[in-house]
């Protein structure tokens, strides 16, 4: 959650920090702030509640100077999202300034003890402990590195911190303990950058180093020294990042979300990419770590994730079961991490986290590392924290996703999971060769199908105009489309703030049916598949109760028109792949409704792109 930035070099820090914060804003937008050591050797802090644009209004960039500074966009955990609680925070003597991402679990204890020693706290945050702790340690020993290491060892929980100190104007300090989001150090030309994520760094350099847990970095404009928390120097590998700089701009689109929806035909092509050889219908995952024998012996698959990634798991459960014939279960990472589940070396945990930073998913993966089970993770950021835990990482290749609502990462996760199920199925001989050939040929058509679907958004605009004033929606689906009903409801509630629930259609008459009347639009996912007859029964039940039906169906199922108030047609593909194209109506209904409601689509209230706290 929270975006962190740091700069040291010969350029004007305030401008670089502010521009970079804009690129990290998707991580939190409750407040914005920067701290600078200015050209008159003063520690200057400017902060404001709300977004970076709001902050910019408060700031006269031309009046600020300094070649070193830190910045922060906040997703509030402790204390309201106001100006005082905004980062950066400082110590009693205004010498130290810090920005922080994570949760300090023992902050109350630390605060209490520091207050007893005379420290005055200004904010309600846990973060402010850090600047006061460093100050306290420096009162007893003037070695700043030692004080920072001591602080890193004292605070409990998962935390990432960047620090500047007035008496050390040529150094930025940072440390990471646990998995509270990434910290990337970018090497420029006589300048260095620190950031929570790549978009803020990529305009300046593509040479980066990832700080790992229990590491500290001491950064000057020419070099970076890495140490562990005992103060022993360590050598770290530098990476060159490849990222399409265009993917950072919205281009012709009004919102990142809309751009990212339109990126999907290309994204899915990239996901399939070199993994499929269409000449001999083979699927390949580079350096797949498990032998054919191990694959044959898998006795259980557990898919874990949160939010949209969990919905991808729910779809994939059906694929893994039917294609690989391995018993498969799904769990929400935040529940899974506390289960007393029985696992062994024949169990395969597949985690999905597009950011690779989701705290609950990381914790679940870490917890079951000792169970000897095998772990595969899917990520859109293959050097992320989840990949450091798993035995194998699969890059979903969606390209950078900035909009808080996941769209193309969902589609690419689904596509990757489908390929993985076919790959495992082939190795286990649980799938006939002709079936693989047929499915791959259907898969190859998806980019074109999706592109055609995106060319005609009129039906979504009409539906959105008619339905945006409603306050409640129900989404119903069965089988592979039940998770899509959940995903449709999630998309709608998160960006339009309309209450929406996704249900398996069969569950409707066990309770939710009581809600149905003409004021409750029911979005029914009813493609022409093996569940059609069952879904028609549900459609009739809604109709009989005067419900308002928006049906989403494949072309040529005209009889549904007699029952539905409105109908959206999607193209035909194989039953297995319907959820992939069904994600388009789920995204576009929500997008156009939120547009009508004039919501802040890319940065919905209370949310952030990566959830790095429990």
Catalytic positions, please?
Answer: 2, 609
Given the complex with ligand M6R, which of 35 and 586 has the nearer CB atom?
A: 586
CA distances (Å), origin 416, targets 191, 303, 352, 355, 514? 38, 13, 10, 15, 39
Chain residues in the site for ligand M6R (CB under 6 A): 306-309, 353-355, 358, 361, 404-406, 490, 494, 610-611
Given the complex with ligand M6R, which of 490 and 539 has the nearer CB atom?
A: 490
Per-residue HEC secondary structure of 296-365 comes to HHCCEEEEEECHHHHHHHHHHHHHHHHHHCCCEEEEEHHHHCCCCCCCCCCEEEEEECCCCCCHHHHHHH
Closest distance to ligand M6R from the beta carbon of 319 (Å): 19
Closest distance to ligand M6R from the beta carbon of 368 (Å): 17
Closest distance to ligand M6R from the beta carbon of 405 (Å): 4
- Tell me the three state secondary structure of residue 606: coil
Residue 279 has which token pair? 């000449």
How, if at all, do strands 224-228 and 215-219 pair? antiparallel
Given the complex with ligand M6R, which of 8 and 490 has the nearer CB atom?
A: 490
Instruction: Please give the Cα distance from 404 to 203 (Å, whole number).
Output: 21
Closest distance to ligand M6R from the beta carbon of 260 (Å): 11
Contact call for residues 359 and 182 (beta carbons, < 8 A)? no
Given the complex with ligand M6R, which of 243 and 563 has the nearer CB atom?
A: 243
Report DSSP letters for 357-410, one per residue: --HHHHHHHHHGGGGT-EEEEEESSTTSHHHHHSSEEEE-------SSS-SHHH
Instruction: Please give the Cα distance from 437 to 283 (Å, whole number).
Output: 10
Residue 33's DSSP bridge partners are: 47, 72
> Dihedral of the CA atoms 237, 238, 242, 243 (nearest 10)?
110
Closest CA to 602 of 589, 590, 584: 590
Closest CA to 236 of 212, 220, 252, 253: 212
Given the complex with ligand M6R, which of 45 and 398 has the nearer CB atom?
A: 398
Instruction: Please give the Cα distance from 314 to 418 (Å, whole number).
Output: 12
Given the complex with ligand M6R, which of 135 and 360 has the nearer CB atom?
A: 360
- Tell me the three state secondary structure of residue 572: coil
Residue nearest to ligand M6R as judged by C-beta position: 307
Closest distance to ligand M6R from the beta carbon of 264 (Å): 14
Closest distance to ligand M6R from the beta carbon of 308 (Å): 3
Given the complex with ligand M6R, which of 99 and 378 has the nearer CB atom?
A: 378
How far, rounded to the nearest angstrom, does the alpha carbon of residue 403 sit from its chain's CA centroid? 10
Backbone phi, then psi, for 53, in 5-degree steps?
-65, -40
Closest distance to ligand M6R from the beta carbon of 13 (Å): 30
């Amino acid at each position: 959650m929270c975006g962190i930035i740091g700069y040291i070099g010969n350029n004007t820090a305030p401008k670089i920090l502010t521009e970079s914060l804009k690129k990290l804003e998707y991580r939190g937008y409750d407040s914005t702030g920067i701290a600078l050591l200015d050209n008159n050797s003063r520690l200057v802090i400017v902060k404001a509640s709300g977004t970076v644009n709001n902050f910019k209004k408060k700031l006269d960039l031309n009046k600020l100077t300094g070649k070193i500074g830190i910045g922060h966009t906040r997703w509030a955990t402790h204390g309201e999202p106001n100006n005082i609680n905004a980062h950066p925070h400082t110590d009693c003597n205004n010498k130290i300034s810090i920005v922080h991402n994570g949760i300090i679990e023992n902050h109350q204890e630390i605060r209490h003890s520091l207050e007893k020693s005379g420290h005055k706290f200004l904010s309600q945050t846990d973060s402010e402990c850090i600047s006061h702790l460093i100050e306290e340690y420096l009162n007893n020993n003037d070695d700043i590195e030692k004080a920072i290491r001591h602080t890193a060892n004292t605070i409990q929980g998962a935390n990432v911190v960047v620090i500047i100190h007035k008496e050390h104007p040529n150094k930025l300090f940072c440390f990471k303990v646990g998995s509270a989001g990434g910290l990337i150090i970018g090497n420029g030309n006589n300048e260095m950058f620190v950031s929570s994520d790549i978009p803020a760094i990529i305009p300046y350099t593509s040479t980066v180093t990832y700080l790992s847990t229990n590491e500290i970095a001491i950064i000057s404009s020419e070099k970076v020294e890495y140490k562990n928390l005992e103060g022993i120097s360590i050598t770290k590998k530098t990476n060159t990042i490849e990222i399409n700089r265009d993917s950072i701009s919205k281009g012709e689109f009004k919102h990142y979300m809309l751009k990212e929806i339109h990126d999907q035909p290309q994204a899915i092509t990239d996901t399939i990419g070199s993994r499929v050889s269409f000449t001999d219908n083979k699927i390949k995952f580079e350096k797949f770590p498990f032998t054919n024998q191990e694959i044959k012996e898998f006795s259980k698959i557990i898919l874990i994730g949160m939010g949209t990634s969990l919905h991808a798991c729910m779809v994939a459960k059906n694929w893994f079961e039917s294609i690989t014939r391995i018993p498969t279960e799904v769990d929400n990472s935040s529940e899974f991490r506390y289960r007393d589940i029985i696992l062994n070396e024949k169990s395969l945990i597949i985690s999905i986290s597009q950011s690779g930073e989701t705290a609950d998913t990381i914790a679940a993966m870490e917890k079951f590392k000792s169970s000897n089970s095998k772990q595969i993770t899917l990520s859109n950021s293959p050097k992320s924290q989840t990949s450091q835990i798993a035995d194998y990482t699969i890059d979903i290749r969606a390209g950078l996703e900035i909009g808080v609502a996941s769209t193309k990462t969902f589609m690419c996760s689904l596509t990757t999971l489908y390929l993985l199920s076919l790959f495992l199925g082939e190795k286990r001989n649980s799938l006939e060769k002709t079936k693989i050939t047929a499915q791959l040929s259907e898969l190859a058509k998806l980019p074109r199908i999706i592109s055609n679907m995106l060319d005609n958004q009129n039906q979504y605009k009409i539906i959105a105009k008619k339905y945006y004033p409603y306050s409640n929606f129900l989404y119903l689906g069965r089988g592979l489309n039940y998770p899509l009903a959940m995903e449709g409801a999630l998309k709608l509630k998160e960006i339009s703030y309309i209450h929406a629930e996704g249900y398996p259609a069969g569950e409707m008459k066990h309770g939710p049916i009581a809600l149905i009347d003409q004021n409750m639009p029911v979005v029914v996912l009813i493609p022409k598949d093996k569940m059609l007859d069952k879904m028609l029964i549900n459609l009739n039940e809604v109709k009989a109760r005067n419900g308002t039906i928006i049906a989403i169906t494949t072309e040529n199922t005209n009889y549904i028109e007699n029952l539905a108030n409105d109908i959206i047609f999607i193209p035909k593909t194989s039953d297995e792949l319907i959820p992939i194209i069904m994600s388009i109506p789920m995204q576009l209904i929500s997008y156009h409704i939120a547009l009508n409601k004039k919501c802040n689509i890319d940065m919905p209230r209370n949310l952030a792109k990566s959830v790095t706290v429990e």
